[in-house]
């Protein structure tokens, strides 16, 4: 399995699970949004910490899917 397919499957499953969880429990979703307003900077740093290694490892610009992932 190539790196591109791995990242597609990994993030695809995560997005599906989060989307289903948000659809199922409206009250939990609203509470999560309300509570996370104070932590926007923290979540931004977490995104950078997890996103930057993905870009460093998967810096491929040879095809359409690779460019979309990178």
Domain ranges of the chain: 3-69
In Å, how far from its chain's centre is CA 66?
16
User: What's the predicted TM-score (pTM) here?
Assistant: 0.54
Only one residue has tokens 């979309």, namely 68
Distance CA(50)–CA(21), nearest Å, equals: 22
Checking if the pLDDT of 69 tops 70, the result is no
The predicted pLDDT at position 1 comes to 61
Quick one: pLDDT at residue 35?
Answer: 81
Per residue in 6-56, pLDDT (tens digit) is 888 888 898 899 888 888 888 877 887 788 778 888 888 888 888 887 777
């Amino acid at each position: 399995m190539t790196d591109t397919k791995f990242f597609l499957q990994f993030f695809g499953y995560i997005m599906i699970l989060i989307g289903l969880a948000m659809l199922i429990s409206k009250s939990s979703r609203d509470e999560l949004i309300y509570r996370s307003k104070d932590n926007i900077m923290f979540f931004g740093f977490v995104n950078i910490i997890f996103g930057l290694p993905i870009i460093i490892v998967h810096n491929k610009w040879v095809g359409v899917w690779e460019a979309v992932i990178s």
